[in-house]
Amino acid sequence: MRYPLSRDEHAAMGRHVGGIRKQLQEISDLFSTRYGKDSSIAEMAVKALVSTTLLEHELTLLEDSGATVSPADDLGRQVS
């Protein structure tokens, strides 16, 4: 059985996904400028950016719903 991320893990994943989203935004802008907005490579970059943005939003929703576990709960869930 999988358990939710701890608050620390959740925060770390949020930072990583946010960084990836920023990088994909830069890549998307570059490809759109160099190859044109209608090029297949620019369209793929936009799709990757949208997917990452949705993932970041989903992490935010989880955080807002309290779906993370506290450090004390995290210790209690460890399997021997």
Per-residue pLDDT reduced to its tens digit, 13-61: 999 999 999 999 999 999 999 999 999 999 999 999 999 999 999 999 8
Q: For residues 8 and 14, give the distance between their C-alpha atoms in angstroms, rounded to a whole number.
A: 10
Q: Against a cut of 0.85, is the pTM above it?
A: no
Dist CA 50 CA 70 (whole Å): 30
pLDDT band for 76, please (50, 70, 90 cuts): low
Tell me the β-bridge partners of 67. none
